[in-house]
Amino acid sequence: MTTLNYTVKFHKTVLVSFIGLCLSQSCFALEEMSDEKLSNTTGEGIALLPRDTYMVFQGAGVNQTQDTVLTNRSLDTGYIYYVPVGPLSSIVQDTNKDGVVNASDHSVGKADLYLYGLALSKNASNNANLRLDAGSTNGVANAAIKSWGTATNPWIFNVKTDLNVPDFGAGAGSVTYLNFEAPLYENLYSFAADKKTVTTSAFVNDVGGEDAYNLKLAFWADGFVRDQSKADKDPNQFNLGEGFSTTATGRANRIRLQGIFNGFGLNGSKIQLFQTLGGATNTGGMSAFYNNTLGLAGVIRLNSGDGSKLLGTSTANSWTAPANLMSHVFRISTQECGVGNLNGCTTPAAQDILSTPAINGGTAPTFSDKEGIYIYNLNTNLVLGSLYQPLILGSDGTNFSIELARIPNKESIYKKIYTDYTGADTSYTGSTCNVYNCGASSIAGYQGSSATHSSISIGTVYSTDAGKTLLADKSAGAVGVSFNQLNNATSSNAQNNLGSALIDGMLIQHMKITTKGL
Amino acid sequence: MKKTVLLILTSLVSFHLAAMEALTDSDMQQVEGQAGADLSLKLVLNQINASDSYYTTNNAYKFDNGTGGICEKLQFCHLALSVNNRYVDANGLASSTEGNKLWVVFKGVQGTINIQKLGLDGVDLVYKNTTAMQMIKPSIQLSFDANQPIQIRNFGFNSLSIEKDDFTSKTNADGTVTESASGATESQYGYLKANKYVAKPQTTGANGSTANNYDVGRETGFMGVQMNGNLVLQGKLMMFSCDSTMNKRC
């Protein structure tokens, strides 16, 4: 047993005074912060700025030097595999819709999908068949994005509060949201007095951050038809025959494709995460299910730039394609090089029709450089909801749904969303997000991000009202989509030129996507 | 003697507490930083580990669900999320106030992520402000090398499923959630349900289907994800405080 022996004897009063003094220090406990207090806080946030960066998903194996990474595309076999768990329903297997599943139906398989070699880099050489550009200068890869944004226009991750956001009912409230924003899109485009002629000015604010407007996204993929009656790794797992529950070897039960998107930017995109406001009841087409749950809103902008000047030259017996088409193109191709290839790339030998690196090992395939669908100068500006029209998640217990809340019949909300295209009633403040602008901007030199309508344009597209709305060019020189690469022709137009395309001013009034049969 | 002790003790406790003061950007610039640190991080989640007694070269990176493994009881290798106020009421309809609570369950969560090299440095970010004056901002710099890729092995989950509790809960006026009655058992919670598919023979007719042998032994759900490869990442990521003097968005 231990006993304590004191060498100094304290008087009780001394001890009491000491304890008293110690206790008299004022201490403040941590106090709970209310939502109101939090909403008065201005978040400074974290700024993120990637520099000299690129990414490619290569196969599991030993470390490679940067030179090998940049030049050897056959190593791009790192993959993301979507495992098709869950049985097929009777509804999908009844292919002739006679109410019964039997030998009269075609076979139905599950989809086995492997996404390979995902790469994100700078578009350095306008090559629409190369997933990552080769070469380096002073040790920095040509494919590296020099600066994705700038110090004064970086990626931002912060918490913000918007006051007086109208709720689904009669009231309003403040919404605090987690905000993730890409760099803003510099206001590069100005219109002449005719409201049609566009001038693209040089970068002023984003000097040094130009690469953010010239990215390259690439991947290749293998998709299989899987026979669910065969166990995993069964030799016949991909040999599903034509009829119900049959097996046939030698069928081409695989789709192999490559996707390359050259010369686009993400600038101006943002995502907001928050708790929705309340006030909705199950009347007037609304749902109480909208109330006080996780809400999402975002603007997704994938822009290739102004397309109004992208015009070929057409005469009675000649057609000349616009220059530099490959600098802004989204291409999906399926043809592999190999013996007998009509486009001339006869080496290396094509891989087996049911082979894939994730299962059989080996290297990434070599794709032909001329075949495929080409989508030129794609500008996608998608507005998905807002703080007062959120995207919410729901479920009935087995299936799930993604719903963009219906716009309430409430003036303070719908006047923020709808557009008066005549401009007569300025109380309607909605507008369309396109490459030229995306709503009113509070920051000089940059485009806004408050627009409410979406726009998707392909190829030669112009505006006649200084960028408010867009029109697809219908002249013979217009380009947009083509099967196989566009080439000069000796007739008035190239045979494979399908022309430009446009979806403009798209407003989502109410959208609900529900899965079935899970 | 008494007074002296009291005096000494009093002086001991009367120390001054200085509040923490904000460091200005110019203060930070005065600091000479030494070379930063290179970090190596390896995460092995629910997979057979090199230190396990049953580890062999062939079962590396495999889901550890064998006898005695971490995930022998599959329900404890789930990752579940419940979004605010998502219920199904007694009529099977969606409700945001009361009912059986809904969960998004990632089943068989597993993976190995080996970040071979992550450089951590403090650097000065030099930029020009709106009046073209050169400014310096201290920043954290994370760097990655292409020749030391991030190794990702079987990272993902075996199936994704929507599950609901077998009992009801409700959201109170103050926003808290309570179970309607106490006494719920382990297996009644949505996120602990670990049902598996069994073999199904071929049938024909209105509810017919081809045989199902692929899903046998897998946990119920609708989609799994698995990542494998060397993620080659080159570059530097600057992280700095975003203040309103340099950026109006903050």
Q: Where are the alpha helices (DSSP H) in A24-167?
A: 35-39, 66-71, 90-93
From B197, B207, B238, residue closest to A49, measured CB to CB: B238
Q: Write the pLDDT tens digit of every residue in A214-239.
A: 999 999 999 999 999 999 999 999 99
Interface predicted TM-score (ipTM): 0.87
Six-digit token pair at A75? Answer: 């190593």
What does the alpha-carbon distance between residue A391 and residue B81 come to, in Å, rounded to a whole number?
17
Mean pLDDT of A415-444: 93
A51 and B237: CB-CB below 8 Å?
yes
Q: Which of A30-34, B34-38, B178-182, B223-227 shows the lowest mean pLDDT across its residues?
A: A30-34
Q: If you count them, how many residues does chain B have?
A: 250
pTM of the model: 0.87
Residues with Cβ within 8 Å of A381's Cβ and at least 6 positions away in sequence, in order, are: A299, A300, A301, A302, A303, A432, A433, A434, A435, A438, A451, A454, A455, A456
Q: Write the pLDDT tens digit of every residue in A489-504.
A: 999 999 999 999 999 9
Give the bridge partners for A186, in sequence order: A446
Contacts of A396 in chain B (CB under 8 A): 88, 92-94
Six-digit token pair at B108? Answer: 């068989």
DSSP A204-249: STTTT-GGGGSEEEEEEEEEEEE-TTSPTT-TTTT-B-SBTT-B-T
Q: What is the number of other CB atoms lying within 10 angstroms of the CB of residue A433?
A: 29
Which 330-349 residues of chain A touch chain B by CB within 8 A? none
Contact B239/B142 with Cβ under 8 angstroms?
yes
Q: Label residue B100 by pLDDT band (50, 70, 90).
A: very high
Is B201 an 8 Å CB contact of chain A? no
Mean pLDDT of A29-49: 64
Per cent of chain A over pLDDT 70 is 92
A181 and B249: CB-CB below 8 Å?
yes
Collapsing DSSP states into helix, strand and coil, what is residue A348? Answer: coil
Q: Has residue B12 got a pLDDT over 80?
A: no
Six-digit token pair at A225? Answer: 């038809």
Q: Is A242 exposed, middle or buried (0-12, 13-18, 19+ CB in 10 A)?
A: exposed
Q: Has residue B75 got a pLDDT over 60?
A: yes
Which string of b and e fits B47-69 if b means at least 16 CB within 10 Å? bbeeebeeeeeeebbbbbbeeeb
Q: Has residue B69 got a pLDDT over 60?
A: yes
Nearest residue in B to A398, CA atom: B162
Of A308, A262, A314, A310, whose CA–CA distance to A488 is shortest? A314
What does the alpha-carbon distance between residue A235 and residue A238 come to, in Å, rounded to a whole number?
8
What does the alpha-carbon distance between residue A510 and residue A417 come to, in Å, rounded to a whole number?
13
User: Which of A25, A83, A185, A277 is the mutation pick for testing B, counting most B CBs within 10 A?
Assistant: A83
What does the alpha-carbon distance between residue A483 and residue A375 come to, in Å, rounded to a whole number?
9
In degrees and rounded to multiples of 5, residue B145 shows phi and psi of: -110, 135
What does the alpha-carbon distance between residue A313 and residue B222 come to, in Å, rounded to a whole number?
52
Would you call the peptide bond into A154 cis, given omega within 30 degrees of 0 as the criterion?
Answer: no
Mean pLDDT of A20-25: 49
DSSP B11: H
User: Which of B86, B110, B249, B250 is the mutation pick for testing A, counting most A CBs within 10 A?
Assistant: B249
Mean pLDDT of A109-138: 96
Mean pLDDT of A135-150: 94
Is B67 an 8 Å CB contact of chain A? no
Mean pLDDT of B22-27: 68
What does the alpha-carbon distance between residue B242 and residue A184 come to, in Å, rounded to a whole number?
14
Of B232, B235, B236, whose CA–CA distance to B116 is shortest? B232
Q: Has residue B131 got a pLDDT over 90?
A: no
pLDDT value, residue A25: 47
Tally DSSP H helices, then E strands, for chain A: 6, 27
Is A54 an 8 Å CB contact of chain B? yes
Residues with Cβ within 8 Å of A47's Cβ and at least 6 positions away in sequence, in order, are: A154, A155, A156, B238, B239, B240, B241, B242, B247, B250
Residues with Cβ within 8 Å of A235's Cβ and at least 6 positions away in sequence, in order, are: none
Collapsing DSSP states into helix, strand and coil, what is residue A124? Answer: coil
Is A394 an 8 Å CB contact of chain B? yes
Six-digit token pair at B130? Answer: 């709106």
Q: Label residue A396 by pLDDT band (50, 70, 90).
A: confident
Q: Write the pLDDT tens digit of every residue in A237-249.
A: 999 999 999 999 9
Contact A140/A52 with Cβ under 8 angstroms?
yes
Which sequence spans correspond to the domains of chain B?
25-239
